[in-house]
Structure 1
Amino acid sequence: MALVFWASVGLLVFVAILSLDIMGFFSRGNKFQLEGRTVILTGGSYGMGKELAKMLSQRGANLILVARDPKKLQDALDYAKSSAKNPGTQRFHYISADVSQESENTRLLAEATAWNNGRTPEIVWANAGASKPQLFIEASVETLRQQMDLNYWAAAYLAHKTMKAWLYPDTPYQQGATAEAPRHFIMTSSGAAFYSPAGYNPYGPAKCALRGLADGLRQEMLMYNGARRSNKKTSQAPAPFDIKVQIVFPGTIKSPGFETENQTKHQITHLIEAEDPVQTEVEAATAAMKGLESGKFMTQTNWLTELMRLSAISGSPRDNIVKDTVGQWITSIAWLFIGPDMDGRPWGYGKKEGMPEFKPEKV
């Protein structure tokens, strides 16, 4: 009887904690302060990026947008500027660059730093990316490389250069420098990082790699954050701020990019994702900002990417120990049913339609 009693007490406590957490009682304020700070946002000229730019502006950030098309950049900058929280003091700038090239990341960070009065921007968001869904064997090798360059290397290049600039600047930090607010390096991945269905193989592996980079880089930055608390004197003074690495996982977003994707998407991919939730650009951007403000390492923008995150969380930090642990158990069971259904769609399509005609991409 005693065992049953304590088990019941434990269950009630668990339910109470979970309920309070879901209702926001354990919230500890905004962990993504933006007012007066400078943000670099790549891929900020359209889609979710354009809406993110507006929301960053609304929160008082100085903004540097990066993309390739100057006209779209100017339009996006004007759109963001019109919503500025502090119109008289906020500053806005854009840089036209192809972030899939390493040298362009070097240039844009240098230009952004110069524009920011010689100070490396405090928040850098590698948001650039685009999907070109195709059957794997029909995609050209050139497309496979381009997808990896844009959807993984663009963020990796920028992270590599930003972290060095933050941690080992040309003018070294002084011992005992005044503490500053945390710096944030943010990456936009995709739900495809957790589950990449048939037809997304040019794109999905790059987003999986980005998730891996975020996991490893977050943990690596803990060493530098820990060095700030050390009493040991070294030749190199630590940065007077912590570095937070965060990653966002959008799902399907109804945007110009989505319409472009549908031009190359195979019918089987349409069948597999037929019931997927579709968000507007504003909805996805709002969810991303909410996750960052709550301090999440991983931010999913809809319920489907949340379920995929739970089932694939592995050793990544949990937003909530109770919710995420129980959610992982539940989704592991759910995949016993979801997985066969997902696999059955391409199997059934092939059985019904027969051998598909080979249509290699023309380069």
Structure 2
Amino acid sequence: MGLFSQKKHFVLSGRTILITGASQGMGRGLAKICAQKGANVIIVARNIDKLKAAVEYISAAAANPQTQRFHYISADVTSAEENTRLLSEATTWNGGNPPDIVWANAGSAYPHLFIETSIETLRSQMDIDYWAAAYLAHATLQVWTKPTSNQANGTTSKASKGTEPLPRHFVMTSSVVVFAGLAGYGPYGPAKAAMRNLSDTLRSELALYNGARLHATDPLRIPKIRNHIVFPGGIQSPGLDAENKIKHPVTTKLEEDDKPQTEDEVATAAIAGLERGEYLITTAFLGSLMKAGMLGGSPRNGLGVVDTIMTGLSALIWSFVGPDMERKVWKWGKENGIGNT
């Protein structure tokens, strides 16, 4: 899958995409590339001034300025009710049709030693880095799995010429930290790991609805639904600048060989993975290597050949890298004590 017809797996031109956490950083980069590829774009964040500036920036990149449309919604995505509201508002703005693509990208990291982090912060990290995506998935999939209005008319959900409608896509942004537990990411990593498990579970459950579309006597008249999850590493952004101010020095030491990507680099890599039809998407080679060692029961991308080769390579490399990283933390503690940020 994705070996010979890359862009057909994720069509953006003429479609509507909603992206949360899109007033800056990776989300803004994603929205710009979607605009360049002809999509109508809805961005979501809390700060209205940043949203207005982001819409101006994104719309300037439109492939077809006369026909493409852009909109912003201010919302607190850590609230289940707000996710329902923003999806409803997006549907109204989109002529009564839900967005074709929804991307749960909102998130923030509080890199700190676990036992030195307050319980309130641990909970807030779970709220923004897991629950925000879970709430949006719940609201979106409830809408997408309802039969289309065509069912009431006794017609099919296919286009007039008998072609299959384009699939809908639900995408979540996780992090490479789910593949390797690192000192200093205790508040953040578990929430992103929960997101990965949710994505695998949704992929399994969505097979039920996608199969029901082909039921002989009572087909479920909905477009096919696909879900994906993206695992970026460090991203040059205001968020990373804020993280570095509170990050423990030992975490900085562990990350010294990981060069952050720009928002455009990470967004380009993520969308390229979607166009190839991938499910688990990394944005840099190091992330791909880390992913290969932690696939477990997750579906492999494409035919699985590259992932299988990388799994063996990753196992060999991690047999050296894992102990080396633990030694670095041990040595730092021996030389500096517990330290602080």
TM-score, with length taken from structure 2? 0.94
Matched residue, 1:353: 336
Whether the 8 Å CA contact 1:188–1:248 is kept in 2: the answer is yes
Q: Deviations over 1:314-362 (max 9, x none)?
A: 12121242211121111111111011001111111112223446x8xxx
Deviation by residue 1:35-92 (Cα, 9 ceiling, x = unmatched): 1111110011001111111100111111110000011111111111111111111111
| C-alpha RMSD of the superposition | 1.7
The residue aligned with 1:131 is 109
Q: Does 1:257 align with 2:239?
A: yes
Counterpart-to-counterpart distance in 1, 2:22 and 2:87 = 15
- TM-score, normalising length: structure 1: 0.88
Q: Does 1:325 align with 2:308?
A: yes
- In the alignment, the residues of structure 2 paired with residue 200 and residue 250 of structure 1 have an alpha-carbon distance, to the nearest angstrom, of 15
| Contact 2:43–2:71 under 8 Å retained in 1 | yes
Equivalent residue runs for 1:30-69 within 5 Å = 30=7, 31-69=9-47
CA contact 1:123–1:184 (8 Å) conserved in 2: yes
CA 1:171–1:28 in 2, change beyond 3 Å: closer, same or farther?
closer
Stretches of structure 1 that go unaligned for 5 or more consecutive residues are 1-20
Q: 1:194 to 1:172 in 2, by over 3 A?
A: farther
2:171 pairs with one of 179, 183, 186? 186
**Is 1:212–2:212 an aligned residue pair?**
no
Alignment counterpart, residue 249 of structure 2, candidates 267, 278, 289: 267
**% same residue:** 50
Check if 1:74 corresponds to 2:72: no
- Give a deviation string over 1:77-128, Cα, whole Å, max 9, x none: 1111111111111111100001011111011011111111111111000000
Contact 1:277 1:302 in 2 (8 A): no
Q: Structure with the greater relative contact order (CA < 8 A, sep ≥ 6): 1 or 2? A: 2
CA contact (8 A) 2:42 2:72 kept: yes
Partner residue of 2:187? 202
- 3-state DSSP class of the match of 1:181? coil
Query: Structure 1 residue 239: deviation in Å?
Result: 3.3
Partner of 1:3: none
Give yes or no for contact 1:253–1:281 (8 Å, CA) kept in 2.
Answer: yes
> Do the aligned partners of 2:148 and 2:157 also contact (CA within 8 Å) in 1?
no
Paired positions, count? 332
Is structure 2 residue 6 aligned with structure 1 residue 29? Answer: yes
Distance in 1, matches of 2:109 and 2:283, equals: 18
Moved over 6 A (4+): none
Q: Deviations over 1:199-232 (max 9, x none)?
A: 0110000100011011110111011111112203
Give the Cα separation in 1 of the matches to 2:277 and 2:148.
Answer: 30
Determine the C-alpha separation between the residues in 1 that align with 2:43 and 2:116. 34
Give the 5 Å matches for 1:50-199: 50-168=28-146, 173-174=151-152, 176-178=156-158, 179-199=164-184
Work out the CA distance in 2 between the residues paired with 1:348 and 1:226.
54
**Retained in 2: the 8 A contact 1:277–1:304?**
no
Could you report, residue by residue, the CA deviation over 1:126-149 in whole angstroms, capped at 9, with x for unpaired residues?
000110111111111111111100
Equivalent position SS for 1:41: strand
Partners of 1:222 and 1:65 in 2: how far apart?
Answer: 28
